[in-house]
Homo-oligomer: A and B are copies of this chain.
Amino acid sequence: MATGESATPFGGHSRSDTARLEALSDGVIAVAITLLVLDLKVPHVGEESLWSALVGQWPSYAAYVTSFLVIGILWVNHHSIFRQIRYATRGLMLTNLTLLMLIVAIPFATSLVADYLTESGINAKVAMAAYNALALAIAVAMTVLWGYALRRPELLEPDVDVQAARRAFPRFSIGSTVYAVLILVSFLSALLALAGTFLVALYYAFEHLPKARPAEG
């Protein structure tokens, strides 16, 4: 409240700040993941076969499934991080807003990939590289966010093992490099890069997260 501003050492932000930050983040991520459906477009075939047209849309479905998984994993990671943060500062809020701004752009990048994946020239590669550049930016933003909080232990929940979290941080941050590699792969083969992006998300979903990422339990 207005009068309590100086009561805490980091600008008077209370626990409820984080709760609201999470609520906004949840809302934004839920809408963004649902807007992916707008990238699935009804084909207009006239007298031709709708079935063939639907099958021919497989790049849209592949991009849809990949992005759904990517945003889903991001949501899990976002929660993993915020479960360990008790207080928000203005810097944290701005970093989180930047992160959300990048996540919200995923449906756009998905649409780009869906439209260009099967083009023969350089454009398919550019589309896929742009997608992974966005994924890289998101991974970096999340690393910055978590690193920001780790450097300010007074913002964390009291039961967070800060030393352990700091030891795990390099492994956490190194995850970003996979997207830098996938940008390069995009210029070899857009299709291969899309498969790689999907597999990386699947790997994070099953294996990596509970160990090297900020723990979830």
A199 at the interface (CB under 8 A from B): no
- The B-contacting residues of A in range 1-42, CB under 8 angstroms, are 1-8, 11-14, 16-17, 20, 23-24, 26-38, 40, 42
21 A-B residue pairings within 8 Å (CB atoms): A1-B83, A11-B216, A12-B217, A13-B217, A23-B26, A26-B27, A27-B27, A28-B34, A31-B31, A31-B35, A35-B37, A37-B104, A37-B107, A42-B111, A50-B116, A54-B130, A64-B101, A72-B97, A90-B206, A90-B209, A93-B205
A157 to B79, CA, bound (A): 23
* A136-144, A159-167, A177-185: which lies at the interface: A159-167
Asked whether, in the complex, the Cβ of B126 is within 8 Å of the Cβ of A50, the reply is yes
Asked whether, in the complex, the Cβ of B97 is within 8 Å of the Cβ of A69, the reply is yes
A105 to B113, CA, bound (A): 18
Q: Using A1-B83, A2-B165, A90-B206 as known contacts, list a sample of 17 further A-B pairs with CB atoms less than 8 Å apart, ordered by residue number in A.
A: A1-B159, A2-B84, A2-B214, A3-B215, A20-B26, A28-B30, A31-B31, A40-B105, A44-B115, A47-B121, A49-B122, A50-B123, A51-B122, A65-B101, A69-B97, A90-B209, A94-B206
Interface size class of A (residues with CB under 8 A): 35 or more
Copies of this chain assembled into the complex: 4
Asked whether, in the complex, the Cβ of B36 is within 8 Å of the Cβ of A104, the reply is yes
A32 to B115, CA, bound (A): 23
Q: Which residues of B contact A206 (CB under 8 A)?
A: 90, 94
A160 to B1, CA, bound (A): 6
From A75, which residue of chain B is reached at the shortest CB distance? B24
A127 at the interface (CB under 8 A from B): yes
Shortest distance in angstroms between A169's beta carbon and chain B's nearest beta carbon? 12
Asked whether, in the complex, the Cβ of A26 is within 8 Å of the Cβ of B28, the reply is no
